[in-house]
Amino acid sequence: MKRSLPAWSALGLVSAFTVTVGVPGAALAHPDAAPKIVGNAKSGKPVFQTTCGVCHRLKAAGSVGNIGPDLNKVSLSEVVIIKAITNGGATVMSKVQAAKYTTQMTAYRNALTTARIQDIAAFVYTSTHPK
């Protein structure tokens, strides 16, 4: 049974999408809905390389960090990436996931502008979600 329901994103934004109710493993987002990229991926790449690449591995950035999660192996929405950068990485992980790391990613809300955070998130998102 398909219904259009409001959904709360990780940042408290409201959007509508189609869900299939009662079917395990059903997709939550409508297959035709393309995400709107907020930041500028091209501007985000050099900032990622200098700010994030020391800890995170991401092939598109040429970074080989091994302190935090390998971003080549995760599939996060841009909204979740923005939340992780803004508030710290553990804010988007379960306690079990966060416990795998001896160091937690700091919040960058006071170190980077909102635009820079959005640019990094756009770069990570587009690098990990090929067209």
3 beta partners: 19
In angstroms, rounded to a whole number, what is the distance separating the alpha carbons of residues 106 and 52? 11
Q: Which domains does the chain have, with CATH numbers?
A: 1-30 (no CATH), 41-128 (1.10.760.10)
Residue partners of 22: CB distance under 8 A and separation at least 6:
1
pLDDT per residue as tens digits for the range 15-27: 333 333 444 444 4
Q: Which of 42, 124, 12 is nearest to 77 (CA)?
A: 124
Look up the pTM and report it.
0.73
In angstroms, rounded to a whole number, what is the distance separating the alpha carbons of residues 15 and 6? 6
In angstroms, rounded to a whole number, what is the distance separating the alpha carbons of residues 69 and 113? 23
Pair 76, 115: CB distance under 8 Å: no
Residue 53, both tokens: 């690449």
Q: What integer pLDDT is reported at residue 131 of this predicted model?
A: 75
Residue 90 has pLDDT above 80, yes or no: yes
Q: What integer pLDDT is reported at residue 48 of this predicted model?
A: 98
Q: What integer pLDDT is reported at residue 22 of this predicted model?
A: 41
Instruction: Name the one residue in this structure whose structure tokens are 């398909």.
Output: 2
pLDDT per residue as tens digits for the range 4-16: 444 433 444 333 3
